[in-house]
């Protein structure tokens, strides 16, 4: 026990009590799995579009118009009826959007912005698909049996408009995949900091 005479400075006055560190934000166990799902599905979609760019469409271009139409009709019919494709096609957007919302709500805006940007880019790919590629696919299907077709002008549209829009879809999805990969890194850092008892950083940038 110590005693200070009146008028004597308190030696402990220079060391005021420290405020307790803020408690880390509660963990959301759903964000990690959602980010993984979004990244995997985005990679699948980017890979599908890329495969068309470098192999399917160039290979069909070396065939005659009747074979071109027949093959594309079969490709489209198989993809339209494939549940795995539908899951990846829609799931990439839904998983990214929900993960972005959860991260933003927790205050991790830097990570949320990367995920949100990926979702927006993929939404652009979907808009291209529904406004360009699907209408052309429907027009090709409406042409009927390739053995009975006499006007193959639709092939020119595919070699021009469809293939060009698919290249754009590939670039957009690849960029979105990169954004999700960056978000995974940031999410991992934040999760590691919170687990160690360090308050999670909430950066706006990267």
pLDDT of 44-80, one tens digit each? Answer: 999 999 999 999 999 999 999 999 999 999 999 999 9
Would you place residue 200 in the very low, low, confident or very high pLDDT band (cuts 50, 70, 90)?
very low
pLDDT surpasses 80 at 22: no
The pLDDT, as a whole number, for residue 51 is 97
Task: Please give the average per-residue pLDDT across 11-33, as a whole number.
Answer: 60
Query: Could you write out the three-class secondary structure of the chain?
Result: CCCCCCCCCCCCCCCCCCCCCCCCCCCCCCHHHHHHHHHHHHHHHHHHHHHHHHHHHHHHHCCCHHHHHHHHHHHHHHHHCCHHHHHHHHHHHHHHHHHHHHHHHCCCHHHHHHHHHHHHHHHHHHHHHHHHHHHHHHHHHHCCCHHHCCCCHHHHHHHHHHHHHHHHHHHHHHHHHHHHHHHHHHHHHHHHHHHCCCCCCCCCCC
CA distance 158 to 26: 51
Note the pLDDT of residue 204: 44
Residue with tokens 């759903």: 30
Asked whether the predicted pLDDT for residue 83 surpasses 90, the reply is yes
Contact 57, 192 (CB under 8 A): no
Mean pLDDT across 132-154: 94
Q: What percent of the chain has pLDDT over 70?
A: 79
Q: Is the pLDDT of residue 11 over 60?
A: no
Per-residue model confidence (pLDDT) at position 205: 46
> How much is the pLDDT for 198?
46
| Interatomic CA distance for residues 184 and 40, integer angstroms | 12
Of residues 171, 168, 169, 181, the one with CA closest to residue 114: 181
Residue of 95, 10, 88 lying closest to 49 (CA atoms): 88
Check: CB of residue 79 under 8 Å from CB of residue 151: no
- Counting every residue written for the chain, the total comes to 206
Q: How many CA atoms lie within 13 A of 196 on its CB side?
A: 10
């Amino acid at each position: 026990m110590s005693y200070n005479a009146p008028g004597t400075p308190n030696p402990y006055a220079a060391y005021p009590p420290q405020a307790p560190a803020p408690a880390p934000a509660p963990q959301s166990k759903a964000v990690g799995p959602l980010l993984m799902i979004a990244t995997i599905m985005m990679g699948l979609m980017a890979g599908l579009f890329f495969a068309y760019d470098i192999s399917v469409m160039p290979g069909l271009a070396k065939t005659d118009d009747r074979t071109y139409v027949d093959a594309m009709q079969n490709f489209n019919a198989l993809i339209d009826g494939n549940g795995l494709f539908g899951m990846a096609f829609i799931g990439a957007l839904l998983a990214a959007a929900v993960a972005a919302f959860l991260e933003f709500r927790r205050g991790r805006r830097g990570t949320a912005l990367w995920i949100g940007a990926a979702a927006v880019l993929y939404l652009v790919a979907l808009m291209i698909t529904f406004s360009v590629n699907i209408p052309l696919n429907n027009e090709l299907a409406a042409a009927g049996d390739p053995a009975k077709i006499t006007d193959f002008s639709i092939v020119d549209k595919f070699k021009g408009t469809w293939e060009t829009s698919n290249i754009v879809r590939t670039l957009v999805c690849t960029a979105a995949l990169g954004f999700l990969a960056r978000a995974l890194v940031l999410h991992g850092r934040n999760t590691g900091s919170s687990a160690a008892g360090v308050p999670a950083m909430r950066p706006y940038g990267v």
